Amino acid sequence: MQIIIVGCGKVGSALAAKLSNEDHNVTVIDTNAERLNHLTDLYDVMGICGNGTDYQILERADIQNADILIAVTYSDEVNLLCCVLAKRASACRTIARVRNPIYSTGRDYIRRELGLAMTINPEHAAAREIVRLLRFPTAIGINSFSKGHIEMFRFRVPDHSPLIGQAIKDAKILQTDGLICIAERGDDIVIPDGNYVVQKNDKLSVILSPQNALKFISDVGLKTDAVRNTMIIGCGEMGYYLAKMLLNMGIKVKIIERSRERCEILAEHLHKAQIICGDGSDEDLLREEGLEEMDSLVACTGIDEENIILSLYAKNKIRQKVVTKMSRLEFNDVIRSLDLDSVINPKTITTETILQYVRAMANSYDSNVETLYKIMDDRVEALEFAIHRNSSITHVPFEDLHFKKNTLVAGIYRKNRLIIPDGQSYFVPGDSVIVVTTNTGFDEIGDILETKVRS
Amino acid sequence: MNRAMIRYVTSWILRLEGLLLCSSVIIALIYREFDVLPKYLMVIAGCEALGFLLAQKPEDSRIYQKSGYITVALAWIVMSAVGALPFVLTGEIPNYIDALFEIVSGFTTTGSSILKDVEAVSHASLFWRSFSHWIGGMGVLVFILMFIPVKGGSQMNLMRAESPGPDVSKFVPRVHNTASILYKIYLGMTLGQILCLLIARMPWFDTLCITFGTAGTGGFGILNSSCASYTPVQQWIITIFMIAFGVNFSFYFLLLFRKPKAAFKMEEVRAYGLIILTSIVLITVQIFSRTTLYHHLGDAVRDAAFQVGSIITTTGFSTTDFNQWPSFSKWILVLLMICGACAGSTGGGMKVSRILVLLKTLKKELLQIVHPRSVRKVMLDGETVEHTVLRSINVFTAVYFLIFGLSVLIISLDGFSMETNFTAVAATLNNIGPGLAGVGPASNFSAYSPISKLILTFDMLAGRLEIFPMLLLFVPSIWQRS
């Protein structure tokens, strides 16, 4: 597809890199020539130096033939104006990053009236993600499929789990409620088969339906209760959204924020929250404010290093969940080796959300992948396929199909129910199928088989 | 530096060259030249075998700017070293240095020759010589970029190193799409010329060789008289196509795929046209009125137009011995040699856009002296020329004349006249072909010593690759692992 990205900051660059590697034709517009040059040196994209709201610049980027325009400059207004201009000039879809809270209440209205395909507010999206995590504090990450009817939970195997030492095929709870589809041990990532023996501290990803989630979580020996209170350290836009959402859910919120001014604004908008004006990196202050009585802590100051230190400090004191906000995109290996609980990066979330939209759109052109997640630093793909009426692999038991290596059918969504597949399972037209694989480039369900069968 | 990747690209070059050499085999079969045929087959087999041996794909396929330059420079050297072999093996150019000079002259689209009697050479070798113009014209790596699986911006670093012009940019987001557009335009125009010449009743072998020479702006003729013995119509066709191949290819891209209006507004193309017209008029007036060489105005215009087109595009065909012309006309030709064609064309020289920017910078600096506080920018096509581009143009100019001067100095040891030496370097560094006096259209480069030939060979490569890739080879820190 022809994609134009306006603004090449961290998100714009990350999008350009990913999309160009996924074989899209990417043109990047930015006012900073140096940054553009750097980007075009590293990736096969075209750079145009100029302002994205300049119609001539858009024309030079061949807006008439573009499929998608993604506006991710630092300015909301520039992003919106770009999208409106692009929409007027061509039939392309437009995505804008809009982060000012002023626009947040009218987001849907703006989107609809300006004809945008999607707006994304990174801080809001990140806050929503954190809420999901706090709802299931034992999960490290959660992805959803089939419009939220199926979820993929990632968790660390706790010390006394009944799973430890068992092979997957022998563990009873794994046969009925959920299916382990990815296992991480140290730096290794595998798609486990029945003989995989679970060990302590493995990180497992499991496919579940939300209804069964609670039961499953308690079965594997994890705590199930949602958090009752949260301490938010550093309260920028994301902290504000987060506090608001949590308060609406009836969770107590304690905010520690350094700036007096900010505290006063927050106090105006968040009546129920307890707002403390002070330095969140002060050990005494934290102790005084009862860090050890907290169920969860969200470290979201503007400085990554501070967030990391805070999280490491709080890890053994907080009962359930420590969430670390990061804004840097590099050094993922180092961050992973720190053994932090959950890391949330608004930029990554923005990038991923936009990528999902673009991928879904690209796929609607030439394949029948409904959802595509690239997870674990892009080393694993989780895809959702629709099974069509004339597919040739329906009604064949899985025992008789030869799946490719490192490929797993992790779940079948049929008639509003999640079916955990086994050897006797088979596809029926109308199914929604979730496939987890370390291979790439699957376009249709037939691709998961060793021998190519047209579906 | 990514050595594995350089090896990998070289293997592609070798295999491609083997494939291209097959065309000469076909020619040898057609003309029943069974004595040269096995020699060509040997080289092809060698290329493919060596290419196959080196073809293991490296894990890290990234090429950064530094390795991009080195890869391109080495690729051209390897390609030339191998391309010279058929001439030596067939015994048509027994001396390897001569053969190297000849094929480098081919690939760099220069057209300078050391052959005293071109007509004695076999058809297969003549074809290979002319075909090398066509291959070198658009660039081999640009061609390979359409197929080679390299990652990300690496391709751009190769393309930037190989394509002529101060500021190489893509037409479309992907390098391989850009490359295929370039080759489509190139191929289309080549076929157009072949068709025109065939309609004008030129023999088909001449048509192919002359077209390849024109398209790459090379200039190897297959007759001792270059293009003098072709009919006026054929000469006009060649003139027009020479000038057309010297136009910036983004002109054609805009014309065909985007906005034709914008194409004609390109300052470089306009300046190029203006220079050509003025030169033709000035030369015609002088050679028609001040000499006894021409009796018909038509002949004078035709010769002037052909020569101007041939020299400014750095092709180097000739229809007349312009060494006989008065010195004003000759000096115009020398200036045209240095000026060269448009950036982003197949031509060589300093490029019209560089000259334009230099002149604009000069104007800016002069005005800056008059009004020290004035703020001005150098603009081209309505856009500011970035400081980095300006700097690279200034440095290029300095290095260009430095190499020019040093080369003349070294080859002067052979004892030829100043005019000969000066134009010999001008003709090779700018990829033109014939110079004046001792290396004029009626003579050739065979009289120079082997060392001078190597210097001139280096000049040709440096001129084609715009100097920096070749110079980088001599920077020691490039070769250190770090």
B333: nearest Cα among B306, B302, B356: B306
B157/A contact by beta carbon, under 8 A = yes
| CB–CB contact A44 B153 (8 Å) | yes
- B165 labelled ligand-binding: no
Which chain B residue is nearest to residue A60, measuring alpha carbons?
Answer: B258
- B109 labelled ligand-binding: yes
Q: What is the mean pLDDT of residues A161-177?
A: 75
* Tokens 């066709």, located at residue: B237
pLDDT in tens, A192-249: 877 888 888 888 888 887 777 777 777 777 776 778 889 999 988 899 999 988 988 8
Amino acid A454: pLDDT: 45
Instruction: Walk me through the domains of chain A, giving residue ranges and CATH numbers.
Output: 2-120 (3.40.50.720), 127-219 (3.30.70.1450), 229-348 (3.40.50.720), 364-448 (3.30.70.1450)
Edge-to-edge, what's the strand order for the sheet holding A296-299? Answer: A274-277, A252-257, A229-233, A296-299, A321-325, A342-344
Amino acid A184: pLDDT: 85
* Tokens 């930015």, located at residue: A30
- B320 labelled ligand-binding: no
- Cβ atoms within 10 Å of A147's Cβ, excluding its own: 10
Amino acid B362: pLDDT: 92
Q: Is A243 within 8 Å of A273 (Cβ atoms)?
A: yes
Amino acid A174: pLDDT: 66
How far, in Å, CA of B351 to CA of B246, rounded?
Answer: 10
Please say if the pLDDT value at position B189 is more than 80: yes
What ipTM was reported for this prediction? 0.73
- Positive or negative torsion for Cα A179, A185, A190, A193: negative
Q: Is B352 within 8 Å of B270 (Cβ atoms)?
A: no
B66/A contact by beta carbon, under 8 A = no
How far, in Å, CA of B413 to CA of A184, rounded?
Answer: 72
Q: Residue A68's pLDDT band (boundaries 50, 70, 90)?
A: very high
A138: nearest Cα among A33, A30, A216: A216
Q: What is the mean pLDDT of residues B297-301?
A: 87
Q: Residue A154's pLDDT band (boundaries 50, 70, 90)?
A: confident
Which chain A residue is nearest to residue B386, measuring alpha carbons?
Answer: A33
Amino acid A455: pLDDT: 43
Q: Residue B433's pLDDT band (boundaries 50, 70, 90)?
A: confident
- Cβ atoms within 10 Å of A296's Cβ, excluding its own: 26
pLDDT in tens, A391-408: 777 888 888 888 888 888
Indicate the domain borders of chain B.
384-479
Please say if the pLDDT value at position B281 is more than 90: yes
| CB–CB contact B172 A40 (8 Å) | no
- Positive or negative torsion for Cα B117, B121, B126, B132: negative
Q: Which of B155, B258, B386 sits opposite A44 (nearest CB)?
A: B155
Please say if the pLDDT value at position B27 is more than 50: yes
A283/B contact by beta carbon, under 8 A = no
pTM, rounded to two decimals: 0.78
Q: Which of A2, A21, A44 sits opposite B175 (nearest CB)?
A: A44
A27/B contact by beta carbon, under 8 A = yes
From A331's Cα to the closest Cα of chain B, the distance in A is 19
DSSP assignment of B383-415, as one string? EEPPHHHHHHHHHHHHHHHHHHHHHHHHHGGG-
How far, in Å, CA of B459 to CA of B465, rounded?
Answer: 10
How far, in Å, CA of B236 to CA of B217, rounded?
Answer: 16
- The region of weakest confidence among A367-371, A429-433, B22-26 is A367-371
- The region of weakest confidence among B40-54, B154-168, B322-336, B373-387 is B154-168
Contacts of B172 in chain A (CB under 8 A): 25, 46, 62
DSSP count for chain A of H helices, then E strands: 15, 22
Between A145 and B279, whose confidence is greater? B279
B386/A contact by beta carbon, under 8 A = yes
